[in-house]
Amino acid sequence: MTTSRQNVRVAMIGAGSMANRVHYPSLASFDDVDIVAICDIDVERLNATADKYGVERRYTDYRKMVEEVTPDAVYAIGPPHIMFDIWVWCLEQGLNLYIEKPMGITIYQARSLAYLAEKHGCITQVSFQRRSCPMVVKLREECLKRGPITHAVCRFYKCAIDPYLAARDHMMDDGVHAIDTLRWMCGGEVEEIHSVSRRVLVPDINFFAALLEFDNGATGLMVNSWTSGRRIFDVEMHAPGICVEAEHEGKGYLYADGDTEGVEYDTREVAGSDEFYVYGGFRAKNREFIDCLKAGRQPSSHFGDALKTMEVAEKILAQAILRGV
């Protein structure tokens, strides 16, 4: 379903912390977007968000909201084990849909969502915003001026040793971010996977290291650990005679032709904002979705593409099971 209106009319399902931190402010910053209604079962949270963004139409029943408002697109932001049935319903109505990662908690759910989106012709987006961090996008473009990315690295560490008391496992929840970032940096599709996985002090697998071989000749390395001393999300990109080291929410460094000092980039300066939703890439990811709605085309992280990320994650988990981890 496409829209030809000048302003895109968006209905929001979910008024939780993530939605309020990044998606509401992103959409509110666009002159060509109208948030026409909000739905949440927590009335206090619903009213607080609607008051903040001046939204009059408020619902606790998302079906009623969609029926009465007839939006151009729906944002359904919340944990996948809570939102999956809502996502399915939206797709079955032919609604354009934006969701947070991960795209379900199982590969079956991810495949079901991609199937329904294609069947009903829905424009969709999964919020893999690390593809759209302004600083990292700029640094990747600098590398590509010299030639293709030959290899890339993504490290995602957290200090979370206790058992992961949630419906989502480490790989499908957080690990997919590293996989998707590598897919974007390397610019190809994964052909071969060589991985090592561990359970460190807990029942869940909470350490992954994987070498990904891409069909374009690039190589990606991901290392994900939830037993580290602090949170880290950073990347490397290497092309002929040039390389990048960057932490999305901090600094980036560009090295070329044997230089060891490098050129420093600051993520806030490149984005032109101190707001996390801007320099973190969320605003750009939302902008992509809105532009695609207007143009009637799929954005880069549509459900069909996001499914490829989930399938890589599933294969890494399968290798761990085969090795008896």
Q: Both tokens of residue 58? A: 């408020």
Please report whether residue 287 resides in a domain.
no
Question: What is the rounded average pLDDT for all residues in the chain?
Answer: 95
If asked whether residues 80 and 174 sit together in one domain, one would say: no
Residues 26 and 98 in one domain: yes
Enclosing H/E stretch for 118: helix 107-119
Same domain for 97 and 208, yes or no, is no
Over residues 186-241, the pLDDT tens digits come to 999 999 999 999 998 888 889 999 999 999 999 999 999 998 999 999 999 999 99
Here the CATH number for the domain that contains residue 212 is: 3.30.360.10
- Find the domain containing 211 and state its range: 130-275+305-322
Angle among Cα 127, 133, 136 to the nearest 5 degrees reads 135
Domain assignment of residue 310, yes or no: yes
Percent of the chain having pLDDT more than 90? 89
Residue 164 above 70 pLDDT? no
205 in any annotated domain: yes
Residue 35 to residue 69: CA distance in whole angstroms: 11
Asked whether residue 281 is domain-assigned, the answer is no
Token pair 């010299």: residue: 146
Please check whether residue 289 lies inside any domain of the structure.
Answer: no
pLDDT score, position 257? 96
The answer on 138 and 97 residing in a single domain is: no
Q: Are residues 89 and 116 in the same domain?
A: yes
> First CA to last CA across the chain, in angstroms?
44
Q: What is the pTM of this model?
A: 0.95
CA distance 153 to 245: 9
pLDDT at 4 over 50: no
Locate 118 and state its tokens: 């294609």
Q: Quick one: tokens of 212? A: 């990904």
Inside any domain, residue 284 = no
In this structure, of 92-106, 155-169, 190-204, 278-292, the range with the lowest mean pLDDT score is 155-169
Asked if 103 and 225 sit in the same domain, the reply is no
User: Containing H/E element for 256?
Assistant: strand 251-256
Residue type for position 158? K
> Collapsing DSSP states into helix, strand and coil, what is residue 252?
strand
